């Protein structure tokens, strides 16, 4: 299972939000590229970057920061936030992203999604499906669609999506554990790959996720727990690989 250290950018800084609330941010670094280099140097093979300003505005707002991150690391990065038209996707890919993460537009604009999948290929596209109370949230988690998350994933799979990112908003940033029942429900609704996000706070959470998750759950995004030193990137990767830990900051369940 792949570890995706998260870098959320708001106002040009690396932050984390509590349950998607823009009014409840914690700033962890004023230079996102420095964080990216730290995670990459520790062994991360992928980074998950979110332009939070872009998610709220509906178009990319931190392209310079994305370019700086891409230039600072040799690992691959995926980028989301405000990608609601083809030009925005192209801009992010030109800034150095290996693949893009689209959310709101994938559900609201079938023609855009079809154009994106045809033009870039399914392997360069991740569709982010975020849910609150089991229903899909849109526009940077500020709107509810009223659509059941499993139904949305099943429909998007039929339309050609090969990879999803699933975030239950209630656990995002809490470090109190992933919402495994909801993850299982989403994973069972598709044969596509699923990346889990939200709630990881200990190595125990990662080991449990790797143990019980469906076979198509290919990775997990971790943010706050890494920033706060609950465990290291190598420890997290070992936990996801099922290796026996030798102790350390993240050992407690």
Spatial CA neighbour of 206 closest among 185, 223, 188, 222: 222
Contact (Cβ atoms closer than 8 angstroms) between residue 128 and residue 100: no
Please identify which of the residues 51, 53, 130, 172 carries the catalytic annotation.
Answer: 130
Any bridge partners for residue 46, and if so which? Answer: 76
Token reading at 2: 């792949």
Give percent helix, percent strand, percent coil of the chain, each to the nearest 5.
40, 30, 30
Phi, psi at residue 249, to the nearest 5°? -65, -30
Question: Could you tell me where the beta strands, DSSP code E, fall in the chain?
Answer: 2-10, 13-18, 21-29, 46-51, 76-80, 99-102, 125-132, 135-138, 143-148, 163-168, 193-197, 217-222
Token reading at 93: 């890919």
Residue 53: active-site member: no
Residue 8: active-site member: yes
Please identify which of the residues 8, 51, 53, 172 carries the catalytic annotation.
Answer: 8
Give catalytic residue positions: 8, 130
């Amino acid at each position: 299972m792949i570890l995706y250290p998260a870098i959320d950018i708001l106002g040009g800084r690396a932050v984390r939000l509590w349950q998607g609330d823009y009014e409840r941010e914690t700033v962890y670094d004023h230079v996102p590229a420095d964080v990216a280099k730290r995670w990459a140097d520790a062994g991360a093979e992928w980074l998950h970057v979110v332009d939070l300003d872009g998610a709220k505005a509906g178009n990319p707002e931190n392209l310079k920061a994305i370019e700086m991150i891409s230039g600072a690391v040799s690992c691959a990065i995926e980028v989301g936030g405000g990608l609601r038209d083809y030009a925005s996707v192209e801009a992010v890919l030109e800034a150095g992203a290996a693949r893009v993460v689209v959310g709101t537009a994938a559900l609201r604009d079938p023609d855009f999604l079809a154009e994106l999948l045809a033009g870039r290929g399914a392997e360069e596209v991740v569709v982010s499906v975020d849910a609150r109370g089991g229903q899909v949230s849109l526009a940077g988690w500020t709107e509810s669609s009223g659509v059941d998350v499993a139904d949305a994933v099943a429909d998007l799979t039929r339309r050609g999506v090969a990879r999803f990112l699933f975030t239950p908003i209630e656990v995002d940033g809490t470090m109190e554990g992933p919402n495994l029942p909801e993850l299982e429900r989403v994973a069972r609704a598709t044969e596509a790959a699923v990346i889990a996000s939200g709630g990881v706070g200990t190595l125990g959470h990662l080991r449990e996720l790797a143990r019980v998750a469906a076979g198509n759950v290919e990775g997990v995004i971790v943010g706050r727990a890494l920033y706060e030193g609950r465990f290291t990137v190598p420890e997290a990767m070992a936990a996801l690989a099922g290796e026996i830990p030798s102790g350390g900051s993240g050992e407690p369940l």
